[in-house]
Amino acid sequence: MSSATADKTAPASHRFAGIRNALHIITQSYSMMFAAALLVTVLLLIILVPLLPGYDPYTQNLAVSLAAPFENIDGRTYIFGTDTLGRDLLSRVALAGRVSLLIGLCAVVISLALGVFLGLVAGFFRGVVESIVMGLADLQLSIPRVLLLIAVAAIVGPSVVNLTVLLGLTSWVVYGRVARAMALSLREREFVLSAVTQGASAAWNIRKHLLPNVLPQMLIVGSFELGQIIVFEASLSYLGLGIQPPLPSWGMMISEGQQYLEIDPWIALLPGIAIFMLVTGVQFLSQAFTSEGQFDLASPPKGT
Amino acid sequence: MLRFLARRLTQSVLTVFGVLTAAFFLVRLAGDPSVLLLPVEATDKDIALLRSELGLDQSLPIQYAKFLVNVLQGDLGLSLRQRVPALDLVLERLPATLELALTAFVLGLVLAFAVGLVMRLTPSPRLRAAIMWLAFIRQAIPVFFFGLLMILLFSVTLGWLPSLGRGTIYHLILPALTLATYELALYLRLFNSALGEQQGQDYVRTAYAKGQTRTKIILRHMLPNALLPLVTIAGINLGMLLGSAVVTETVFSWPGVGRLIVQSVSQRDYPVVIAGVLMMSLVFVLINLAVDLLYAVLDPRVRLS
Amino acid sequence: MTETAAPILSVRNLVVEAVGASAPVRIVDGVSFDVHAGEVFGIVGESGSGKSITMLAVMGLLSGRTRLAGGEVKLRGRSLTDMSREELRRIRGRHVSMIFQDPMTSLNPVLRIGNQIAEILEIHQPGLTRAAVRDRVIELLSLVGVPSPERRYRQYPHEFSGGMRQRAMIAMAIANNPDILIADEPTTALDVTIQAQVMELLLAVRTRNQAAMILITHDLGLVAETVDRVAVMYGGRLMEEGPVDEIFSRPAHPYTLGLMASRPRLDAAPEFLYSIPGQPPSLSNRPSGCVFNPRCAMQNGREICVTTVPSLGRASPNLQGMTHNTACHFSGEIEGWIGAIAGGRDAMRETS
């Protein structure tokens, strides 16, 4: 997996080249454009709806409960309908989206920082440090992530902050692996060796040389992981172990909606579709930053 | 082969100890374990009893030792809700989880294999693209939502299959399919790239030079080699599978360990939570070991190293 | 050895293209030669000269982006290039066999050696019983000098040494007594100490089966010792072809001359190692006219070398019935150069 953005001698303007590249790739394929459309739509929903008049995720009104989408009651159209307590679903889906996205982004930042740090340190210093870090990684991987999240969330209590930190702490391994691999390969390169012989300290080396090489790839991984984390958070909320009321969360809305599938499936469907749109958009686009982008389906050799 | 086996076994044992240690520290994370492990209405006598049992008044290493001894004897405390050993409750539910997880695992590989072969042998590039598309979309849908969609379609709308509980094989279909299709996109992509990789391999060229037919080359030469990375990844994804199983059990009210853990968390029945998590980790380690053995069977190079 | 009999393999104006992002690149650009029954024919050239691709094209083994874009190949008078895929498939492994360079990667790591050799028998002799196939495989293994063949039959490629793997490949290749054996750098990937043994085996087997052999190599020394006729390729084209002794003692092409001169000699000091100045040509951007002209010392600014591709023509009158062809506008002048180089080298030896 290499791309222009991974060129180690590239100046900072290369980062913009990466974005330009991405836009180019996106517009070249229908699936990319579709994914971009999904992402933009859901982001618009999340960002704009809370700014509209009539935005109200909390007020209960049993008289209008279980309204269908676009149903008009007493002169008010509920675009997404209402839930069992008569709350406006559009507002709730939007707010839940904000919460999920915020948690997701923060968690990615935390896990990225932690992972890159641990990975670079492990790869650069090797020896005992590396063993400890890799041991931690293995340990963490020896238990299914959802279980780990459930167990810890259960014990420390599910608050937004706890959740974010927890998600961040449990997602570092993938960055750590990549960072370590990069550190291992780069530390033998001349420019690092020469810096070392010139007496530069380890920290300086890591910051100056290894970091810029590692970051572009991390962003690609990070955008993919964002999707994963959002799904994890939704799963926890679905189980009741994630975001707690009164804050709405997509997962919990789906869980509540499941009981009413026969009567009003929209309560469960709409948040689910929102998750799908956000995750698909984010994950497809993360591929736009790599030089791949399409599925590779090799064909048989010619003349055989 | 024996050396390989011995090495993997040792690793597994170490991993299990690692998880136990982590659990040990986790419980103490919240402060005094007696707060977690005893019901609210516990008497002082109960508390004192627990404290001496866990060695809470003694040094950490001794606590750890006692903890290990307790665990190895199968003593993971009593359920706060039902006053029965936590481990018993977990063991009761274990067969259900295993049934679901293993069915889904095998089903997932079989589906990936079958669909992968279809993709490889079909002359239509549109069909290939359509399949990959569907698999990708499937992966972007969280497991629980997909389960819900399955219920909506097959139970609520069509009424073909039951949506809850465990009993007949019909009850197993929806949950297993939900789990099995999740990794399908990954397996297919891997399978295709593994097969694609095989394409350029020298021994494939040798096979063509021998005058072998394309079909036989795919089946006899490329497939066994392509299976190797597939099995590896399937093993690695076992973690996801077990984790997804936990969530899926709740979706379908499947009476397994996962559902037990979730219910226990909301009931604050921590001994059961911990017992459940430990058991699932153990299952995970064991299945990983089995997958590694399978890999050794498939790849003679590993066997003889 | 006369060539009054028709050649067993006849290649005419073979063109192989690689399809890329821009215009297709001609990797092999109009190569023609004949191979006669029972002879050892060598194809020499630097890497990138197109020698391997030529033979892959003959066997219909081009893959990926490369494809046959022109020319005709005839085996015993039957056109291979016109054949259907299925017909070509039946010829591979039966009438024409190929041995590749790296036996480690050329054998399937997860299948037993015995099964892999058996496969070629099963494909082309489907009537054989399992027992007969097994016997034949064991016979082949001992023929190629693999000790304890019954035991080795059940082993996997990684349990064989490099030399033994190549022996197994040879066993596979001769299993159906092919008319032509193509060996693509058969010893290059092996230890130097094993190379001679394997080469010896290859030649012995060939002689025993009375097959023709096409040896592709960059090793001039090997060519000198083992082949009857040799073709010299450069930049995807044929420079010269003829009897090996002729080519070595009286080359009729400046490139061949350069190759001969670059061979290190034990009696010359290393600082006098000659190499042809310049770099091999880029195939997507071939020099116009003669592909060797940018590096040719004989060109001397003469226009025709740059404007016209020299065609393959007689270099010298028939010697014992064998032709010696060369693609150079001024092949007649080479004799003078040979003398100059030999004299120069002697002069260098005297001063060192």
Instruction: Write out pLDDT tens, residues C273-283.
Output: 677 878 888 88
CB distance A80 to A143 below 8 Å: no
Q: Hey, what amino acid is at C145?
A: G
Tell me the three state secondary structure of residue B32.
Answer: coil
Tell me the three state secondary structure of residue A247.
Answer: coil
In chain C, which residue's Cα lies nearest the Cα of B206? C106
Residue C91 Cα, gap to closest chain B Cα (Å): 7
Q: Does residue A116 have a pLDDT over 60?
A: yes
Which alpha helices (H) appear in B33-85, and where do they start and end? 33-37, 44-54, 60-72
How large is the average pLDDT for residues A142-156? Answer: 84
Instruction: Write out pLDDT tens, residues B233-277.
Output: 777 777 778 888 889 999 999 999 999 999 988 888 888 888 898
What CA–CA distance (Å, rounded) separates B78 from B67? 14
The tokens describing A2, both together, are: 């290499």
Could you say which residues from 166 to 195 on chain B have a Cβ atom under 8 Å away from some Cβ of chain C?
none
CA distances (Å), origin C74, targets C52, C81, C160: 18, 8, 37
- Which DSSP string corresponds to C196-224? HHHHHHHHHHHHHHT-EEEEEES-HHHHH
Q: What does the pLDDT read at residue A4? A: 38
Strand-strand pairing, C40-44 and C229-234: parallel
A198, burial (CB in 10 Å: exposed 0-12, middle 13-18, buried 19+): exposed
Name the band, by pLDDT with cuts 50, 70 and 90, for residue A100.
Answer: very high
The tokens describing B51, both together, are: 């404290």
In chain C, which residue's Cα lies nearest the Cα of B225? C110
B194, burial (CB in 10 Å: exposed 0-12, middle 13-18, buried 19+): buried
Q: Hey, what amino acid is at A40?
A: V
Q: What is the ipTM of this complex?
A: 0.83
Contacts of A303 in chain C (CB under 8 A): 60-63, 67-68, 85, 88
What share of chain A in percent tops pLDDT 70?
76
Q: Does residue C2 have a pLDDT over 50?
A: no
CB distance A142 to B284 below 8 Å: yes
What share of chain C in percent tops pLDDT 90?
36
- Which DSSP string corresponds to A283-298? HHHHHHTSS--S----
What CA–CA distance (Å, rounded) separates A147 from C298? 78
Contacts of C110 in chain B (CB under 8 A): 224-225, 228, 298-301
In chain A, which residue's Cα lies nearest the Cα of C69? A303
Name which of C60, C66, C68 is nearest A304 (Cβ-Cβ): C60
CB distance C241 to C33 below 8 Å: yes
Q: What interhelical angle do A211-238 and B238-251 show, nearest 10?
A: 30
Strand-strand pairing, C66-75 and C78-79: antiparallel
Query: Does C218 reach chain A within 8 Å, measured CB to CB?
Result: no
Residue A296 Cα, gap to closest chain C Cα (Å): 14
- Asked if the Cβ–Cβ distance from C156 to B300 is below 8 Å, we say yes
CB distance B211 to C94 below 8 Å: yes
Q: Is C64 left (phi over 0), alpha (psi -120 to 50) or beta?
A: left
Residue B186 Cα, gap to closest chain C Cα (Å): 24
Could you say which residues from 22 to 61 on chain C have a Cβ atom under 8 Å away from some Cβ of chain A?
60-61
In chain B, which residue's Cα lies nearest the Cα of A273? B141
Q: Is C145 left (phi over 0), alpha (psi -120 to 50) or beta?
A: left
Could you identify the residue written with the tokens 């058991």? Answer: B279
A138, burial (CB in 10 Å: exposed 0-12, middle 13-18, buried 19+): middle
C248, burial (CB in 10 Å: exposed 0-12, middle 13-18, buried 19+): middle
Q: Is A199 left (phi over 0), alpha (psi -120 to 50) or beta?
A: left
Task: Using CB atoms, list chains with 3+ pairs below 8 Å to chain A.
Answer: B, C
Could you identify the residue written with the tokens 């014992």? Answer: C320
Could you say which residues from 284 to 303 on chain A have a Cβ atom under 8 Å away from some Cβ of chain C?
301-303
Name the band, by pLDDT with cuts 50, 70 and 90, for residue B159.
Answer: confident
In chain C, which residue's Cα lies nearest the Cα of B221? C108
Residue extent(s) of CATH 3.40.50.300 domains in chain C: 9-231
What CA–CA distance (Å, rounded) separates B176 from B111? 12
Instruction: Write out pLDDT tens, residues A255-291.
Output: 998 888 888 888 899 999 999 999 988 887 777 666 4
Residue C109 Cα, gap to closest chain B Cα (Å): 8
Tell me the three state secondary structure of residue C41.
Answer: strand
The tokens describing C277, both together, are: 């100045």
- Asked if the Cβ–Cβ distance from C61 to B206 is below 8 Å, we say no
- Dmax of chain B from CA atoms? 83
User: Omega into C251 within 30° of 0, i.e. cis?
Assistant: no
What CA–CA distance (Å, rounded) separates A192 from A214? 14
Q: Which residues of A84-96 are buried (b: 16+ CB within 10 A; e: fewer)?
A: bebbbbbbbbbbb
Query: Does C259 reach chain B within 8 Å, measured CB to CB?
Result: no
- In order of their start, the domains of chain A are 13-55+67-292 (1.10.3720.10)
The tokens describing C96, both together, are: 């024409």
Query: Does C64 reach chain B within 8 Å, measured CB to CB?
Result: yes
Tell me the three state secondary structure of residue C61.
Answer: coil
Residues shown for chain A: 304
Name which of B211, B298, B304 is nearest C92 (Cβ-Cβ): B211
Contacts of B12 in chain A (CB under 8 A): none
How large is the average pLDDT for residues A216-221? Answer: 78
- Asked if the Cβ–Cβ distance from A302 to C85 is below 8 Å, we say no
Q: Hey, what amino acid is at C99?
A: I
What CA–CA distance (Å, rounded) separates A100 from A94? 10
CATH 3.40.50.300 assigned to C9-231: yes
3-state secondary structure B123-153: CCHHHHHHHHHHHHHHHHCCHHHHHHHHHHH
Q: What does the pLDDT read at residue A75? A: 67
Instruction: Write out pLDDT tens, residues A281-300.
Output: 888 777 766 644 333 222 22
Name which of A151, A234, A304 is nearest B277 (Cβ-Cβ): A151
Contacts of C123 in chain B (CB under 8 A): 210-212
Q: What does the pLDDT read at residue C115? A: 93
Q: Hey, what amino acid is at B222?
A: M
- Which DSSP string corresponds to A193-234? HHHHHTT--HHHHIIIIIHHHHHHHHHHHHHHHHHHHHHHHH
What CA–CA distance (Å, rounded) separates A115 from A137? 10
Residue C7 Cα, gap to closest chain A Cα (Å): 24
Residue B27 Cα, gap to closest chain A Cα (Å): 7
The tokens describing B101, both together, are: 């997880």
How large is the average pLDDT for residues B269-288? Answer: 86
Q: What does the pLDDT read at residue A13? A: 46
Q: What does the pLDDT read at residue A104? A: 93
- Which DSSP string corresponds to C164-181? HHHHHHHHHHHTT--SEE
Contacts of C66 in chain A (CB under 8 A): 302
Q: What does the pLDDT read at residue A17? A: 57
Q: What does the pLDDT read at residue B147? A: 92
Q: What are phi and psi of A227, to 5 degrees?
A: -60, -45
Name the band, by pLDDT with cuts 50, 70 and 90, for residue B145.
Answer: very high
CB distance A156 to B30 below 8 Å: yes
Instruction: Write out pLDDT tens, residues B197-208.
Output: 777 788 999 999
User: Cβ contacts of residue C306 below 8 Å, gap of 6+?
Assistant: C287, C288, C289, C290, C293, C299
Residue C289 Cα, gap to closest chain B Cα (Å): 35
CB distance C338 to C259 below 8 Å: no
- Asked if the Cβ–Cβ distance from A143 to B284 is below 8 Å, we say yes
Name which of B23, B151, B262 is nearest A261 (Cβ-Cβ): B151
Q: Does residue A121 have a pLDDT over 60?
A: yes
How large is the average pLDDT for residues A156-171? Answer: 88
Query: Does B205 reach chain C within 8 Å, measured CB to CB?
Result: yes
The tokens describing C106, both together, are: 């050329």
* DSSP structure class, residue B218: I
